[in-house]
């Protein structure tokens, strides 16, 4: 087996093995960026004017492989709010604790279908890609993606005073069924906040362990390959 194949096998195995411990993210700073005001109408929570934007959250996480994180996020919760900085990172006091989980029910709403979850994850993943590549018109694209997530999740009608933003929201709602990107769901464990977010990928402790093991196997395979080749070269 080639070294690269060994690493690929280790990575694939790591994704299939559930982590032994729950990952808790301690969010100490947060802010929202690329924001626009939208008006929300329809069943469930959140009616009226809301800020549609992407979040950026920072903090630490514990366990056997503790460290810090800096993540992009989209809101999946119109039922609760959290205080964040506007176009700047604000220190949260007290900090918020989040756990990695599985999204099954809209916070403050009903059960979500697999199709809804797939569309919401796909939109969030697309938003992460646009931000990370510094795509043009983020102040239009990102509020539209956030609005489309809410619309699909809660069955909301979302409008703005900006015709271009309205058209972009409609476009993202239309293409959402074709998206296959993935995002990680986290939810706050602090009552009464219970805020839910889609975030860019959060490695689990078990995943880190297997990644490290994979790189170890790669190193062993490379050394063995050099030992086999050495007599032929001499």
Rounded Cα distance, 163 and 33, in Å: 21
59 Cβ contact partners less than 8 Å away, ≥ 6 residues apart: 25, 26, 27, 28, 29, 68, 69, 95
The span from the CA of 215 to the CA of 10, in Å, is 8
Do 8 and 118 lie in one domain? The reply is no
Q: Are residues 42 and 99 in the same domain?
A: yes
Count of CB atoms situated within 10 Å of the CB of 173: 18
Q: 131 and 224: one domain?
A: no
State the pLDDT at residue 21. Answer: 56
Looking at the structure, do residues 82 and 192 belong to the same domain, yes or no?
yes
Torsion of CA 38, 154, 131, 179, to 10 degrees: -130
3-state secondary structure of 44: coil
The CA distance from 234 to 231, in Å, is: 5
My answer on whether 14 and 34 are in the same domain is no
CA distance 96 to 59: 9
Using only C-alpha atoms, what is the Rg of the chain? 21
Report yes or no: 234 and 226 within 8 Å, Cβ to Cβ. Answer: no
* Range of the structural domain that residue 15 is part of: 1-19+204-234
pLDDT for 213 equals 54
1/57 same-domain check = no
Q: How many domains does the chain have?
A: 2
Residue 154 sits in the same domain as residue 144: yes
- Does 28 lie in the same domain as 96? yes
State which residues of the chain have pLDDT below 70: 1-21, 63-65, 191-193, 202-234
Residues 73, 14, single domain; the answer is no
143 and 212 within one domain: no
- Per-residue confidence (pLDDT) for residue 109, from 0 to 100: 87
Question: pTM for the full model?
Answer: 0.78
- Residues 166, 193 contacting (CB under 8 angstroms): no
Do 86 and 35 share a structural domain?
yes
Q: Specify whether 154 is located in the same domain as 199.
A: yes
């Amino acid at each position: 087996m080639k070294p690269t194949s060994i690493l690929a096998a280790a990575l694939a195995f790591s994704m299939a093995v559930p982590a032994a411990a729950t990952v808790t993210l301690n969010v100490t700073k947060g802010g929202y960026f690329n924001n626009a005001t939208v008006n929300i109408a329809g069943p469930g929570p959140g009616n009226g004017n809301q800020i549609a934007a992407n979040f950026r959250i920072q903090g630490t996480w514990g366990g056997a492989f503790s460290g810090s994180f800096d993540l992009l996020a989209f809101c999946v919760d119109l039922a609760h709010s959290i205080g964040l900085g506007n176009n700047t990172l604000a220190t949260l006091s007290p900090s918020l604790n989040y756990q990695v989980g599985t999204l099954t029910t809209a916070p403050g709403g009903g059960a979500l279908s697999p199709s809804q979850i797939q569309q919401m994850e796909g939109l969030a993943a697309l938003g992460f890609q646009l931000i990370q590549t510094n795509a043009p018109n983020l102040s239009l694209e990102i509020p539209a993606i956030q609005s489309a997530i809410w619309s699909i999740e809660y069955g909301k009608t979302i409008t703005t005073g900006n015709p271009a933003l309205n058209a972009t929201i409609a476009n993202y709602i239309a293409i959402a069924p074709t998206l296959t990107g993935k995002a990680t769901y986290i939810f706050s464990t602090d009552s009464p906040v219970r805020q839910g977010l889609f975030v860019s990928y959060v490695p689990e402790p078990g995943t880190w362990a297997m990644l490290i093991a994979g790189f170890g196997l790669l190193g062993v395979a490379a050394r063995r390959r050099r030992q086999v080749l050495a007599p032929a070269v001499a």
